[in-house]
Copies of this chain bind each other. A is one copy, B any other.
Amino acid sequence: MTAPERTHRGRARIAGPGEGIGLHELALATRNHGMPLEALRYDVTPPGLHYVLTHYDIPAVDPDNWSLEVGGAVGRPLRLDLDDLRRRPAVTARVLLECAGNGRARLEPRPAGQPWLLEAVGTAEWTGTPLAPLLEEAGLSPGAVDVAFTGADHGVERGVEQDYARGLPLAEALRPDVLLVWAMNGAPLPPQHGAPLRLLVPGWYGMAHVKWLTRVEVLDHLFDGFQNTVAYRMRTGGADDGAPVTRIAPRALLAPPGWPDSMTRERFLRPGPVTLTGRAWSGRAPVTGVEVSTDGGATWTVADLAPTDPAHPHAWRAWRCTWDARRGDHELVVRATDAEGAQPTEQRWNRQGMANDLVQRVPVTVLG
């Protein structure tokens, strides 16, 4: 833990060859939390198992003294409290979320940051009211192009003190499935998921779903805040701006079969037929197939993929595949394909470790 861990102002640090996780990254890993992959068994992730990523601290927001401002390039600015919002039409949607940094810690070299392996996912039932009618009531100015969403969470990021804020293109903000959410899995939104109100932008990585929402500001220019222009970019060199991180790339995950070693998380199982199960999703296009390899990617078998549920187009989909497990060491690999292509078996690197889509590999030992 002796390597220099400070990030440089405005630029994410890249770990050196063989460098382990230091105390700073560990402090993130113990605060934030992933979904243990055996929880892929649940259609809806139970409370407390859904992944959580908090940039700063979880703010203490008093719901009785809280209100949401809708302003900026609008004709009639609005201020609404929770009761105002709850009186509006309510929708419940089952939506998968994935952190844009999922998979970062397996990249080589490793970008410093929240060191996710593959567990920064979850699917919940979110209840709220559509955003678009509110924006229409506020009266969008003809020149409106972006909508900025600001949360109550406050901190410093690469030298810039800020409230967390993200811009979203107006066309996305006006989608009928974009919600202002106050409940999760039928219960009030927990503090770590954005109580009392968060944004939900189905299909986009987690950074778009702003938590602890305090202000919605319509802009007649492109949002130029930190979280869009500095963070959440697909940079490969040190100087390029990189494309913005937006929709979730396709991914399939396997619930590791058998039982683990408590320390190494190596997996063991008995020989014979095994049903491999997991989930698959994509935020950019419907998943068209899931394939499984039990020999490290040399050969692939098409898995049975549950059809898209018309009631839940943004939920993950279950898949399964039978494997006749024989004694010895095997590497299980799984990959999803959507209309734009399949997950790669070799990493695509970028310096913030964003929108990673590398296949999952699960070594297993079948006992004799």
Which residues of the partner chain B approach A116 to less than 8 Å between Cβ atoms?
A: 30
A163–B58 CA distance with the chains assembled, in angstroms? 36
- Given the interface pairs A21-B26, A54-B36, A268-B156, the reply to whether A263 lies near B7 with Cβ below 8 Å is yes
A36–B55 CA distance with the chains assembled, in angstroms? 12
In the complex, which residue of chain B has the Cβ closest to the Cβ of A268? Answer: B156
- A235-278: contact bitstring with B at CB < 8 Å (1 yes, 0 no)? 00000000000000000000010011111111010000000000
Which residues of the partner chain B approach A22 to less than 8 Å between Cβ atoms?
A: 20-21
Interchain CB contact under 8 A, B7 and A264: yes
Interchain CB contact under 8 A, B20 and A56: no
Work out how many copies of this chain go into the complex: 2
Q: Is A57 an interface residue (CB 8 A)?
A: yes
Interchain CB contact under 8 A, A39 and B268: no
Interchain CB contact under 8 A, A260 and B18: no
Which residues of the partner chain B approach A113 to less than 8 Å between Cβ atoms?
A: 263
Interchain CB contact under 8 A, B29 and A26: yes
Those of A1-27 within 8 Å (CB) of chain B: 1-3, 5-7, 18-27
Q: Is A48 an interface residue (CB 8 A)?
A: yes
A32–B21 CA distance with the chains assembled, in angstroms? 16
Which residues of the partner chain B approach A57 to less than 8 Å between Cβ atoms?
A: 36, 38, 256, 259-260
- Given the interface pairs A34-B31, A52-B48, A261-B155, the reply to whether A20 lies near B1 with Cβ below 8 Å is yes
A301–B117 CA distance with the chains assembled, in angstroms? 43
Q: Is A49 an interface residue (CB 8 A)?
A: yes
Q: Contact check: which of B34, B161, B190 meets A47 at CB < 8 Å?
A: B190
A233 to B: closest C-beta gap in Å = 16
Q: Is A320 an interface residue (CB 8 A)?
A: no
Which A residues are within 8 Å of any B CB, using their own CB? 1-3, 5-7, 18-34, 36, 38-39, 41-42, 46-50, 52, 54-58, 60, 105, 112-113, 115-117, 119, 154-158, 161, 187, 190-193, 256, 259-266, 268
Q: List 14 A-B contacts (CB under 8 A).
A: A1-B18, A1-B20, A21-B25, A31-B119, A36-B57, A41-B60, A48-B50, A48-B190, A48-B192, A48-B193, A57-B256, A155-B262, A156-B260, A156-B262
Give 9 new A-B contacts, CB below 8 A, not counting A33-B33, A113-B263, A161-B268. Answer: A21-B25, A24-B263, A26-B115, A33-B52, A38-B57, A42-B191, A46-B190, A48-B192, A187-B187
